[in-house]
Structure 1
Amino acid sequence: MPDDEQPEALLIGGRAGAGKTTAGWEVSVQLQAARIAHALIEGDNLDQIFPAPPEDPSRSRITEANLAAMWHNYSALGCRRMIYTNTVSVLEPDLITRAMGGTPRITAVLLTANDATARQRLSGREIGSQLDAHLTRSAKMAVHLETTAPAWVHRIPTDGRSTVDIARDIITATGWASPHAQKAGLEGQLEH
């Protein structure tokens, strides 16, 4: 990656059951098909420590440290675009900026889903004892995200829509699929 290329981050946030992880994977598949270089990081895995460290009860510092380590490794290979999925990612552009070590261009997308859609998706995923707890937290988080996410965050509804269409809308929001962006992404791949 040339030193003067600004890194970019796509943040995909939303309540549990909004389809963040599935959309992130589909965005990655579509970008791969367009030969647009990127890294995909599933944020839910970055803070899975129990108990939470007393000095970091919200686990935000361990999340940031793990994200910074992963981004360092990807950027050392020439990657300049990151897709990051995490429930509250759209509320944490400062954390992302610090973890990426500079001033990335950030695009944030809040995926929305109504309670029925979230229930249907979570019922298929949560086969253990946590379904009711996830549903309750998901409903509370939907309200919190909608009222707290800044106006510059793109809102994309997922109810009754295909993952392919949702991913296309997300990619459109980034501008990464423009002819200029595609050329830059392909050149980045060919350099390494």
Structure 2
Amino acid sequence: MHADLPTDVIFIGGRSGVGKSTVAFEASRILAAADIRHAVIEGDNLDQAHPQPWRSGIDLAARNLRAMWANYRALGYAKLLFTNTVSVLEVPTLSEALGGEVRATPVLLVSSDATATARLERRETGSSLEAHLDRSERAARRLDAEATGAIRIATDGRTPSDLATEMLTLAGWLRAG
């Protein structure tokens, strides 16, 4: 069913607390309202295990993405919103895992340290906050330096709807206006 269609994917990356999941779910709502068939995959869940498989050289995330996307494709899906902190740095590997012809749009969501910190303080509880803040800051620096081909969208002071609409429009999934 539509297996000959290329996969259109928006890889949504960014530091912890930037709003990746929130923007992806809002984009999904907008696409659903427009009756545009799509799927959402949270990349962080594809290899969340202990011990961490990637530390042993096992790319469980790519294996799981390949398996999940094959199931979506079998049902006729050809559009994917994929979130993961560093997805915009791994477009070739992730596209290969999706298989077939892939038209990828990497989108890097960015925010100030203050915005990311405030969001993480609302989300994280217990002993994980400091670790998340540290990882978020390191990821922001790395992504800023290395994600040269990604569309950058600042999230500070903007609504999820505005961000999702801009992202979908820039990716060509919605018409401007």
- Establish whether TM, by shorter chain, passes 0.5: yes
Match of 2:39 in 1: 39
- Tell me by how many angstroms 1:106 deviates: 0.2
Cα 1:137/1:58, change in 2 over 3 Å: farther
Q: Structure 1 pair 111/59, CA: closer, same or farther in 2 (3 Å)? A: farther
2:95 counterpart of 1:69:
no
Q: 1:84 aligns with which of 82, 85, 98?
A: 82
Percent identity (aligned):
48
In structure 2, the CA distance between the partners of 1:59 and 1:78, relative to structure 1 (3 Å rule), is farther
Over aligned residue pairs, what C-alpha RMSD do you find? Answer: 1.5
Distance 1:129 1:59 in 2: 28
Q: Distance in 1 between matches of 2:23 and 2:83?
A: 9
Q: 1:49 to 1:75 in 2, by over 3 A?
A: same
Question: Is the 8 Å Cα contact of residues 12 and 87 (structure 2) preserved in structure 1?
Answer: yes
Aligned to 2:171: 174
Provide the secondary structure at the position in 2 that maps to 1:57. Answer: helix
Within 5 Å, which residues of 2 pair with 1:27-176? 27-53=27-53, 56-57=54-55, 61-150=59-148, 152-176=149-173
TM-score (norm 2): 0.94
C-alpha distance 39-19 of structure 1, shift in aligned 2 (>3 A): same
In structure 2, list runs of 5 or more residues that go unmatched.
Answer: none
Task: Report the TM-score when normalising by structure 1.
Answer: 0.87
List structure 1 segments (4+ residues) > 2 angstroms apart after TM superposition: 1-4
Give the 3 Å change call, closer, same or farther, for CA 60–177 of structure 1 in structure 2: farther
| Alpha-carbon distance, 1:4 to partner | 3.2
Q: CA distance change for structure 1 residues 58 and 114 in 2, over 3 Å: closer, same or farther?
A: farther
- Using the TM superposition, give the Cα deviation of residue 133 of structure 1 relative to its aligned residue in structure 2, in angstroms: 1.0
How many corresponding residue pairs?
176
Residues 148-172 of structure 1 show CA distances to partners (whole Å, capped at 9, x for unaligned) of 002x310000001111101111101
